[in-house]
Amino acid sequence: MRLNRRLQLAFFFSTLIGAVLFLYIFYSEKGELQLTESEIKYFGFSLILGNVAGLGMFFLSRFLNQKAPWHLATALRFMVELVIMALWIFLLAYGMLRLFLHWQDLNPTAFYKTYHDALLKLIILGVVIILIYTILDFTLYSYNQYAAVQIESVQVASTQLALQLEVLKSQLSPHYLFNSLNTISSIMYANPEVAEQFIRKLAHTYQYILATQDKQLVPLSEELNFVQAYFFLLKARFGPAVHLSLELPRRTYTSNIPPLTLQLLLENAVKHNAPSPDSPLYIRI
């Protein structure tokens, strides 16, 4: 499918260039665009020449990509492509012109003398087109290489992030459970109602962890619900020593983030600040 599309584009632009070149040269010579019957034949010939030349350049470029890729020797490939394309266009134009003159039973000397200036313009424009084509070919190659590198870097970063999240999740569960069980044992007899809520919130957080263990992204709204449940557990442990303020705009709730990221921020904030009633920790998200 990709090759067919490129062939279609090559055919279209070859036809367009052949038509534009003929009309430009014809107008520059005659000063008008009224074609006679014989000149219409020349126009058709230029379209055929443009198509064959363009498709030939397309396949030659593909051949060079296999035999002399750009990344092996860019400068050499550039010069080789210029020379090969120029030879191809020259031989093709000369051969087809000879066939056309023979087919139309025209005298080559008289034809060259009559259309000397037009042929000279055609040669100059042909060289310019070959140069532009080679530059575009190199530009497309450079862009594709850059895009491939960017895609690869994104894939590597995504893989690393996924691995990091898996490691963090595996580290979270035992540590998380140990702290939670200690908290339950300390409040079970002193405040049974809080202990019951604590167990419910703990179950909710574990349910969320299990539900998101195979997900790379979750809606922010779900993550915030989990954070609130997790903060209830922290509040039960630290009491007035910790405070949480959620100040995210509502419009961001539909955004996606990796699961457990906000929980890890809360856990690290508590872990590295040692909150106490005399020195409470205020967390704002």
Q: Do residues 56 and 137 both lie within one domain?
A: yes
pTM (two decimals): 0.45
Do residues 231 and 267 make contact, with C-beta atoms less than 8 angstroms apart?
no
Look at the chain and report how many structural domains it folds into: 2
Q: Do residues 127 and 78 both lie within one domain?
A: yes
Structural domain span for residue 120: 2-153
Mean pLDDT of the chain: 78
pLDDT of residue 25: 66
CA angle 165/264/199 to nearest 5° reads: 110
Segment 41-58 mean pLDDT: 76
Q: Do residues 94 and 140 both lie within one domain?
A: yes
Q: Do residues 147 and 6 both lie within one domain?
A: yes
Q: Do residues 118 and 9 both lie within one domain?
A: yes
Segment 265-269 mean pLDDT: 83
Q: Do residues 115 and 45 both lie within one domain?
A: yes
How many Å apart are CA 28 and CA 32, to the nearest integer? 8
